[in-house]
Amino acid sequence: MPYFVRILLLSFVFCSTTLLFLPTKVLASSSSSFSSKIRVKIGQNLKDVTVGGTDIKRYLYGTKDLRQYPGRNSIKFHCNDGKDGSNGKARRLAQIYSPTGVLSWEGKRYRGELLLISNASSGCDLINIVPLESYISTLLSTEMNGTWPIEALKAQAIAARSYAIYKIQNDSTSKEKGSESYYDIESSEKHQVSGSFFDATPFTDEAAKKTKGMVLLTKEGSELVPIFYHAKCGGRTIAPDQVWSNSVTGYQSVACPHCNSSGQKQWTKTISISQFKNFVNWLARSGHISKSVDVSKIKEGGLYLPTDDLMKSKVGIYQADNLLVINKSLFRRYFSKTFFPSNRWKLTITEKELSFIGEGLGHGVGMCQIGALDMAKSGKNVTEILNFYFPGHKIARVY
């Protein structure tokens, strides 16, 4: 059974520091509206959490104790492993904010408030409650590049805001966990990598401001769906169901000539027959292929590949008389994103190994960021960029 974190709220350490801080907010409610704030998980499984700021206020949910610490201070929370009788559910422990509007953690500064929660596992999670448009501005420097042309940044802002609002409106993280998670989105490659206070630039602030409230909706039904993007498609984007198990309304595969002139042209990888056998074992255990496949019969010189090309989302490999039809994205999931930079590749097989020649960087779904950069440099505006990569969607302002 998973166990909770017991936080020693009596063992705070307060100390004066020489940190500098800046701007605002009061204690936010645990609910988040897409038109105001978003709750971003910026740290997880933490043992010790030290938050700094000026005139810090902190509220303890267990004792309902609200205190203010004047001047520049830091507050240290120590989280211990142990059961706390919460029946495996996350719970709020403390919330911290400053009249200046900026708090410091792990050498970075964050707008808004910080919420400390038990994570039902092995430590504390830290949540940043921040105005949505501030979140979008800082994200543009981490998910794209804060110095890129404004039209590319505006396209990224609309895509990222669409994804964030989708997560908020569908309460996705809580549904995944089966109980209240107290955050809307995670700052990681799993969701979106958000930035901190100093990641915002005049360009990112302008892109967020000029697209405020704008999202992508499906042309038919005006439905809000998760909007994806990636670094480089390598010549063609792919649909969500070619990478993940579910399809998403509105997506179409798009031929993209815009990223060909930038970045690495191709990548190559090889795996041994032994590595392939381990991969097939994993496929069978995970239910991606039949468990009746006799992996022991896979040997050097025993595999045959009829044809393959970059356009295919699946590859068919004969092992004796058995045909293994494998989704290409599963290679990337098993061997890692670092080993397989993209899902766009073609395979050749020799007696002793499998060789892959691929193009692109990232999962390949939705907007190609390098392509968006090229289009912006050539004079295309945000509408033209998004219409190109999302022909089944339309731009709409929701607030």
Q: Where are the alpha helices (DSSP H) in the chain?
A: 132-143, 150-169, 172-177, 202-210, 273-285, 329-335, 369-377, 382-389
Check: CB of residue 319 under 8 Å from CB of residue 302.
yes
User: With bands split at pLDDT 50, 70 and 90, how would you rate the model's confidence at 359?
Assistant: very high
The pLDDT value recorded for residue 11 is 33
Prediction pTM value? 0.85
| Average pLDDT estimate for 129-151 | 96
Ranked by mean pLDDT, which of 74-83, 104-113, 307-316 comes out on top? 104-113
Beta bridge partners, 130, equal 38
Task: Give, rounded to a whole angstrom, the gap between the first and last alpha carbons of the chain.
Answer: 43
Torsional class of 45: left (φ above 0), alpha (ψ -120 to 50), beta (otherwise): left
Q: How far is 380 from 396, CA to CA, in rounded Å?
A: 19
Reported as a single tens digit per residue, the pLDDT across 245-270 is 788 999 999 999 999 878 778 999 99
DSSP class of 50:
E
Check: CB of residue 55 under 8 Å from CB of residue 71.
yes
Q: How far is 83 from 217, CA to CA, in rounded Å?
A: 44
| Average pLDDT estimate for 64-83 | 85
| Average pLDDT estimate for 217-236 | 95
Q: What are the backbone dihedrals phi and psi of residue 122, each rounded to the nearest 5 degrees, phi first?
A: -145, 40
The pLDDT value recorded for residue 178 is 77
DSSP 51-73: EEEEEEEEEETTTTEEEEEEEEE
Q: How far is 317 from 346, CA to CA, in rounded Å?
A: 12
Domain boundaries, the chain: 5-131, 267-358
Q: How far is 55 from 188, CA to CA, in rounded Å?
A: 30
Place of tokens 């979106």: 192
Token pair of 105, please?
Answer: 């953690």
The pLDDT value recorded for residue 16 is 28
